[in-house]
Amino acid sequence: MKHLLYLLLISSISSFSFAQSPVQLAIIIDDLGNSLNAGLNAIALPADVTLAVMPHRKHSKFLAERAGRLGKDVILHAPMSTVNGRRLGAGALDDAMNEQDFKHTLRFAIESIPYVKGINNHMGSQLTTNAQAMSWVMDVLKDKQLFFVDSRTNAQSVAFDTAQKVGLASASRDIFLDNEIDIEHIHVQFKKAITVAEKYGSAIAIGHPHKATLDYLQYVLPQLQGTHVIITPISQLVKANQAQHPDSARESLPASIPALDALVEHYLKTSELEKGENLSIVK
């Protein structure tokens, strides 16, 4: 009976959007490099998900090589200074650096990541508001022929505008999937990303290698096959001279997809049952 219900839900997901025009949704998984298992699970997600790898971490090179060889987009997740002075680790950029040290640090970080196609900022709520620092970033990226994705960790960021002014292929994040690490919240955010994509033709969502995020995506992404929502590598969405989606897009109501809601509810109930069964076995 469970199997039949699951098949019916899958069928309704596949048919929910045939009448709509195709839209593109890029999903970036940030913060890769510290955990081997989390990184491998992110790479194994069943879609063209983009992997953002931090520089000079224990598993960064291995994970970037593996993702690149599998044809996934790899970008540098460049640590940048924050308004609250959070510790950033190796490869960090901050506005106390002179131009030479700043650019050397960024080049060294880029060269440490195999298959790198572009970069996005790790944190950076302070640095991305600094026009001089962002112009140095774009100088390096133009020289390296890489693109830039503004993670938009600060509403006052000038990073995307700076990239566009110099004609650099670039884009800006629309939705954070897991600013709350909870599958039901992730589900709402995922549907918001679909709403933005339906309105503008494309959207960019950023998540992190939390178990809840990876479990959700592992379960949901295969169900989008055959629908109008196409999971797209970020390299296919970045462009020069493009308009940024307005801030209001990030406050969009989540798309109404009852079949997907039912599927996630089924997943949560099944997960709870499995947890209960495992606990009874342990006892």
Looking at the structure, do residues 172 and 60 belong to the same domain, yes or no? yes
For 240, other C-beta atoms within 10 Å of its C-beta total 12
Looking at the structure, do residues 102 and 84 belong to the same domain, yes or no? yes
Average pLDDT over residues 7-36: 77
The Cα-based distances of 206 to 48, 140, 215, 266, 277 in angstroms read: 13, 24, 15, 25, 33
Looking at the structure, do residues 28 and 44 belong to the same domain, yes or no? yes
Bridge partners of 229?
23
Please check the confidence at residue 7 and state whether its pLDDT lies above 90.
no
Residue 139: which domain range?
23-255
Tens digit of each residue's pLDDT (9 = 90 or more) over 98-125: 999 999 999 999 999 999 999 999 999 9
Looking at the structure, do residues 279 and 250 belong to the same domain, yes or no? no
Looking at the structure, do residues 120 and 48 belong to the same domain, yes or no? yes
User: Can you read off the two tokens belonging to residue 141?
Assistant: 């990226």
Residue with tokens 């990073």: 159
Instruction: Provide the b/e sequence for 176-194 (b: ≥16 CB within 10 Å).
Output: bbbeeeebeebbbbbbbbb
CA atoms within 13 A of residue 31's CA, in its CB half-sphere: 14
Looking at the structure, do residues 265 and 194 belong to the same domain, yes or no? no
Tens digit of each residue's pLDDT (9 = 90 or more) over 157-203: 999 999 999 999 999 999 999 999 999 999 999 999 999 999 999 99
Tally of structural domains, the chain: 2
Looking at the structure, do residues 7 and 123 belong to the same domain, yes or no? no
Looking at the structure, do residues 160 and 27 belong to the same domain, yes or no? yes
Cβ distance 118 to 140 under 8 Å? no
Looking at the structure, do residues 205 and 261 belong to the same domain, yes or no? no
Task: Assign residue 46 the CATH number of its domain.
Answer: 3.20.20.370
Single pTM value for the model = 0.92
Looking at the structure, do residues 195 and 77 belong to the same domain, yes or no? yes
